[in-house]
Amino acid sequence: MCGIIGYVGDQSALDVALGGLRRLEYRGYDSSGVAVVGAGALRTVRRAGKLANLEKLLSEGPERDPMPGTTGMGHTRWATHGGPTDQNAHPHTDCTGAIAVIHNGIIENFAALRAELEGIGHELTSETDTEVVAHLLEVELGNAAAAQAGAVPEDVAPGGPAASGAAGVPVAQHPLTAALRRVCRRLEGAFTLVVLHRDFPEVVLGARRNSPLVVGIGQGETFLASDVSAFIAHTREAMEIGQDQIVEARRDGVTVTDFAGEIVEGRRYHVDWDASAAEKGGYPYFMLKEINEQPTALADTLRGRLSADGAIVLDEERLSAQDFRDVDKVFIVACGTAYHAGLIAKYAVEHWTRLPCEVEMASEFRYRDPVLDRSTLVIAISQSGETLDTLMAVKHAREQKARVLAICNTNGSTIPRESDAVLYTRCGPEVGVASTKTFLGQVAACLLVGLYLAQVRGVLYGDEVAAYVERLQRMPDLVGRTLHRLEPIRELARGLADAKAVLFLGRHVGYPVALEGALKLKELAYMHAEGFPAGELKHGPIALIEPGLPVIVVVPSPRGRAHLHGKVVSNIQEVRARGARTIVIAEDGDVAVEPYADHLIRVPATSSLFAPLVTTLPLQVFACELALARGLDVDQPRNLAKSVTVE
């Protein structure tokens, strides 16, 4: 959800914050704001609407005075509490205007805290949950100052230098850090907070619980951000911040402590992509770039997955082969597009391993009390690694002693850290809100996990696994060739810009592909779109068919299970008989569909379980082109955000 950047160094904090926000805007774009500490003052500027509104205000409006200072922060918002107005935009300040706070997440007990603050005379001016944090800090700093006259509070050394010490050792810290720690202990819910104080330009603080925060470590400068893209133009050295931790960032480094005040070591890592990977590279939209990057994203995800002795290689494995052999059922948890990748995985996992596999929307998983134990494997799929619904499902699974394997695109994110094993999709940064290349990466990763399970459990022979992997490694080439032949679907999409609705049908792995096609169209073109199992249609939804309604049908290979193909061909005839305009996605050489296709989109032939890697492509292109024909912004569709860090 919201994008956050904090900075302390030698550069203009405003420039760094705005540069970071441009890269983070995909996380939320309802409003934005900046704060800078300099020349003994704290200045904040914020504006409803996209970042361009804030930039305009800063360059042309009454706020155009320069904001001098080399300590600052910026925020781009996806509204939760309070609408997307100037007043609700972050940063939020306390009564004195000395403290500024930005926040990602939801503070669940904010109403009680707000009532308490108002009861002691604080005036809160927004409808947000965030603002209470600025006022609570004001209270804590006031209490500390008062106590300083008498006894020093337990973990405060007022005005003292930033502490250093060994991990696990309680230390005295900056007064702002100590105050933030006491505030964090009172907060319930999920939060990443970044805090500035007018009188402490030497530090910028961050805190996190169930919400992302990474540190960028430069030469004489330090960054705090929701993700590395915000500071990748300045440094590729990063540090993870763990759950319930506070980072005190200074020019010369950081001190990380937990909410109890003990020093902890953050894990440092090098980011293996550079700023150009998160730029449009000549494309008008990130989505178009990311669609075209799919062959590379897939190839990178699959590279080096087969060891010299023929075993599949995961990235981080904190489980033994015996743990995997003990697995007697598999759950896949994920949201949105990642959930669709999970639905595809089910077919492969059950076929290859003969283990029962259930796929569950992460937001529902823990509420239905699933039966989990030590021999359950839960596969959590998440591009961002920060989706709170998926993270909570992971935590629930681990509490029940299940083993958790994460499939994730973001190194250093929370879900892989909370899991027992990880397989990274190496798709590079995905900026467009609609997932495209990471969906392909997730499908490929799921197939690898299915093969891995089959291998360790001895269900498939080593040479069988190797043969599958080798065939999978030929898929990027097929994906590239498919992308080069999609002009007919672009043209068709442009002609359907005024359609009211589109239905998507599929069977077997074509069904999740149909769901994904419908999701893409809903989120990008704001059209009514539904995906159905082709066979289910006549149990009700067929009543939706009316003359001219576009129905896209994903047809399985006739070389796969013959009866499956034949059934789908019958389903095409059923909808066509009722007046539907049929758009048929079928492999080269499938002549049986020709009489019933008003529009025929050809894709290269491939094996049944790998087919989604090509049949999804025309649906991505269809939704993107149709949305563009409607004049919509495909990178930042309304009401959405790339990373959903609230439940």
Q: Which residue has the tokens 């959590």?
A: 380
The one segment of 256-264, 378-386, 474-482, 493-501 that binds ligand M6R by CB under 6 A: 378-386
Nearest-approach distance from CB 340 to ligand M6R, in angstroms: 8
Whether 2 is catalytic: yes
Q: How far is the CB of 527 from ligand M6R (least distance, A)?
A: 15
* Residue (212 or 216) nearer to ligand M6R, CB: 212
Q: How far apart are CA 203 and CA 223, in angstroms?
A: 11
Residues 55, 306: Cα–Cα separation, whole Å: 49
Only one of the segments 9-17, 165-173, 197-205, 332-340 lies at the binding site for ligand M6R (rule: CB under 6 A); that segment is 332-340
CB of 79 to ligand M6R, least distance (A): 17
Among the listed residues 14, 335, 509, 525, the single contact to ligand M6R using CB under 6 A = 335
Q: What residues have CB less than 8 Å from 589, skipping those under 6 apart?
A: 558, 605
* Residue closer to ligand M6R (CB basis): 204 or 427: 427
CB of 336 to ligand M6R, least distance (A): 2
Q: Which stretch binds ligand M6R (CB under 6 A): 240-248, 336-344, 481-489, 565-573?
A: 336-344
- The per-type count for the chain, helices as H runs and strands as E runs, is 19, 25
Question: Total number of residues binding ligand M6R (CB under 6 A)?
Answer: 15
Which of these ranges, 65-73, 201-209, 333-341, 574-582, lies near ligand M6R under the rule CB under 6 A?
333-341
**Collapsed DSSP state (helix, strand, coil) of residue 228:** helix
CA distance 615 to 443: 12
Strand partners, 382: 408
CB of 584 to ligand M6R, least distance (A): 24
Q: How far apart are CA 410 and CA 391, in angstroms?
A: 14
Report the interhelical angle of 131-149 vs 110-119 (nearest 10°).
Answer: 50
Options 173, 229, 301, 382; binder of ligand M6R; rule CB under 6 A: 382
H-type alpha helices, 103-249: 110-119, 131-149, 175-186
SS3 85: coil
Cis amide leading into 91 (omega within 30): yes
267: helix, strand or coil: coil
Which residues, 388 to 407, sit near ligand M6R by CB under 6 A?
390
319/623 with CB nearer ligand M6R: 623
Place of tokens 């299970």: 561
Q: Compare residues 255 and 337 and give the one whose CB is closer to ligand M6R.
A: 337
**Beta carbon of residue 241, minimum distance to ligand M6R (angstroms, whole number):** 19
Single out the segment in contact with ligand M6R by CB under 6 A; choices: 382-390, 545-553, 568-576, 623-631.
Answer: 382-390
Torsion of CA 556, 296, 339, 399, to 10 degrees: 140
Please provide the DSSP assignment of 452-515 as one string: HHHHHTTSS-HHHHHHHHHHHTTHHHHHHHHHTT-HHHHHHHHHTTT-SEEEEEE-TTHHHHHH
Cα first-last separation, the chain: 11
Closer to ligand M6R by CB, 255 or 383: give it: 383
Q: Which of 346, 437, 520, 642 is catalytic?
A: 642
Interatomic CA distance for residues 210 and 202, integer angstroms: 27
The CB-nearest residue to ligand M6R is 336
Q: Which stretch binds ligand M6R (CB under 6 A): 125-133, 314-322, 334-342, 420-428?
A: 334-342
Q: Which residue has the tokens 């002549």?
A: 591
Q: What is the contact mask toward ligand M6R in residues 625 to 644, using x (rule: CB under 6 A)?
A: ------------------xx
The length of the chain is 647
Our answer to whether residue 642 is catalytic in this structure is yes
- Cα separation, 411 vs 399, in Å, equals 24
**251 phi, psi to nearest 5 deg:** -55, -40
Question: Binding residue for ligand M6R (CB under 6 A) from 211, 257, 384, 606?
Answer: 384
Subset of residues 411 to 440 that bind ligand M6R, contact rule: CB under 6 A: 433-435
Nearest approach, Cβ of residue 57 and ligand M6R (Å): 30
Per CB under 6 A, the list member of 216, 336, 506, 510 interacting with ligand M6R is 336
Q: Smallest gap, in angstroms, from Cβ of residue 441 to ligand M6R? A: 10
Q: Which residue has the tokens 């990977």?
A: 277
Closer residue to ligand M6R (CB): 101 or 344: 344
479 CB-contact burial (10 Å; exposed 0-12 / middle 13-18 / buried 19+): buried
Collapsed DSSP state (helix, strand, coil) of residue 24:
helix
Measured at the CA of 309, the angle between CA 303 and CA 311, to 5 degrees, comes to 55
Number of neighbouring beta carbons within 10 Å of residue 159: 10
Burial of 113 (0-12, 13-18, 19+ CB in 10 A): buried
Footprint (CB under 6 A) of ligand M6R, residues 519-578: 523
Neighbours of 183 (CB within 10 A): 25
Pick from 178, 338, 613, 628 the residue near ligand M6R by CB under 6 A. 338
Least Å distance, CB 433 to ligand M6R, is: 6
Q: Which is nearer to ligand M6R, 89 or 362 (CB)?
A: 362
Using rule CB under 6 A, residue 363 touches ligand M6R: no
Q: Does 337 bind ligand M6R (CB under 6 A)?
A: yes
> Catalytic: which of 2, 427, 446, 624?
2
Residue ranges in 255-314 that form contacts with ligand M6R under rule CB under 6 A: none
Smallest distance from the beta carbon of 646 to ligand M6R, in angstroms?
11
Scanning 260-268, 320-328, 381-389, 589-597 for contacts with ligand M6R by CB under 6 A, the matching segment is 381-389
Task: Using the minimum distance from each CB to ligand M6R, give the nearer residue, 361 or 605.
Answer: 361
Catalytic residues: 2, 642
List interacting residues with ligand M6R (CB under 6 A): 335-338, 382-384, 387, 390, 433-435, 523, 643-644
